[in-house]
Structure 1
Amino acid sequence: MALLDGKKLLITGVLMDSSIAFHVAKIAQEEGAQVVLTSFGRTMKITQTIAKRLPETPPVIELDVTNQEHLDTLADRAREHLDGLDGVLHSIGFAPQGAFNFMEATWEDVSQALHASAYSLKALATASLPLMSAGGSVVGLTFDAKFAWPVYDWMGVAKAAFESTSRYLARDLGSKQIRCNLVSAGPVRTTAAKSIPGFEQFENTWNERAPLGWDVKDPVPPARACAALLSDWFPATTGEIVHVDGGVHAMGQ
């Protein structure tokens, strides 16, 4: 039996075939899962085009996680393609450029980052609940928020909130036998990364600091971790952050 045989998954954040989310979808299909993607606005066409590069072209439904109407209708619209959900991947992050200047960022900048990049985990999980049953899994992607990273600024604060949100979801979804875990990935050259000014500071040093080495052009290792957490192989694991970063998180400076 394949790792995700018969699973029905909702996957957000597929914008490039180099993204972690794309490779989660690819691995999921290869491992027997049925997949539905989400996108919204001007990126819908991009996601629909990239979806054709997967082993099977999945449907793409519209979802802006900051739009309450989209969230309220998500379950009904997903039900047109799936009769239930076994797992959801949260691969969403956004911060306006002002949020990457910690001291000068406005509350408007910060609130957008927190809404799209942290609160959205709870919003997506809640919107998916009508379709999820016991054994379900919510998985999100983070970038280790224990530290004050160069250039990351309020996005780093949003990731800290995101990680805390995952723990509270683990607490409140546990009674429904639904897990919530995160994968803390090392830097991968994605659309999100390109939007961070100075991201090359991570790219240029991560491989040197990682005991196992690190390839910023390889999204497969964190994608495999996400697929594993979406499977039945971690039935008693929730509220966890799995680091897939070549070991950098465990090293001193």
Structure 2
Amino acid sequence: MPLLAGKKILVTGVLTEGSIAFHVARIAQEQGAEVVLTSFGRQLRLTQVIARRLPREAPVVELDVTSQEDLAALAGRVGGHVDALDGVVHSIGFAPQSVLGGNFLSGEWTDVATALEVSAYSLKALAVAAQPLMGRGSSVVGLTFDARYAWPVYDWMGVAKAALEATSRYLARDLGPEGIRVNLVAAGPVRTTAAKAIPGFEAIEGGWGARAPLGWDVADAEPTARAVAALLSDWFPATTGEVVHVDGGAHAMGL
């Protein structure tokens, strides 16, 4: 039986075929899931086009995670396509250029606040918005970039990822009694559109494959997407509040 047979999964963040979220949606469908995507604004049309490149075209509902109106309407919009949700994938992150690329000390609060709201608080906002459709055994999975360290050029996005990881633990605490699991996948650097928008991103990805005992391909989102699919499945029924590293093992190595 396929890993996600009969499951209904909401996936955010599908923007291009190179995005991790696209590969999550693809693998979820290949493993038997019914997938619904989200997008908003000018990106909505692009997501609708990319949705046709999945094994089966997926419906796209509008969701801006900074919009209370959209969050309040999410359950109803998703409910127009599926009657429940077994999984939610958080693949959302944004920081203005002014707080990236070596601008940590000069970053202004208004821009930092944007990074924190979109990249960290949105995990809580998304989970609560989807909660009416989720029951026992449901799974929320987000994507992070190991926030234990201060990375070159990552700056306030690194702080936002630390907040994301803390948010996932508190969500695991508060949603656990409802039978809902919350976990994150800490991926190694993947050359997505979002990553390439970070000034100097090559300083992070450079040499990663040499440090990782299993090696690492910055152009391959498949290993990360498979880990997300596994956490969405029933094979981790007692795992929550966890950060699973998918980085070729680089996180475990000293300099």
Shorter-chain TM range is over 0.9
Aligned to 2:90: 90
CA deviation after TM superposition for structure 1 residue 203, in Å: 2.3
What letter matches 2:104 in structure 1? F
Unaligned segments of structure 2, at least 5 residues: none
Q: Secondary structure at the match of 1:35?
A: strand
CA distance in 1, matches of 2:124, 2:62: 18
Q: Deviations over 1:60-95 (max 9, x none)?
A: 011011111000000001000000000000000000
Task: Please identify runs of 4+ aligned residues in structure 1 that moved more than 3 A.
Answer: none
Q: Deviations over 1:22-59 (max 9, x none)?
A: 01000000000000000000001111111111000000
CA distance in 2, matches of 1:104, 1:204: 25
CA distance in 2, matches of 1:72, 1:237: 29
Q: Secondary structure at the match of 1:41?
A: coil
Question: Of 169, 172, 177, which residue of structure 2 is paired with 1:170?
Answer: 172
Q: Which stretch of structure 1 is more off in the superposition, 142-151 or 197-206?
A: 197-206
TM-score (norm 1): 0.99
Counterparts of 1:43-58 in structure 2 under 5 Å?
43-58=43-58
CA deviation after TM superposition for structure 1 residue 194, in Å: 1.3
Alpha-carbon RMSD? 0.5
Aligned to 2:161: 159
Aligned to 1:9: 9
- 1:146 to 2:148 alignment: yes
- 1:234 to 2:239 alignment: no
CA deviation after TM superposition for structure 1 residue 228, in Å: 0.2
CA deviation after TM superposition for structure 1 residue 201, in Å: 1.3
Q: Deviations over 1:6-37 (max 9, x none)?
A: 00000000011111100100000000000000
CA distance in 1, matches of 2:219, 2:142: 20
CA deviation after TM superposition for structure 1 residue 195, in Å: 1.3
Question: Of 94, 108, 111, which residue of structure 2 is paired with 1:109?
Answer: 111
Aligned to 2:200: 198
Aligned to 1:68: 68
CA distance in 1, matches of 2:189, 2:125: 26
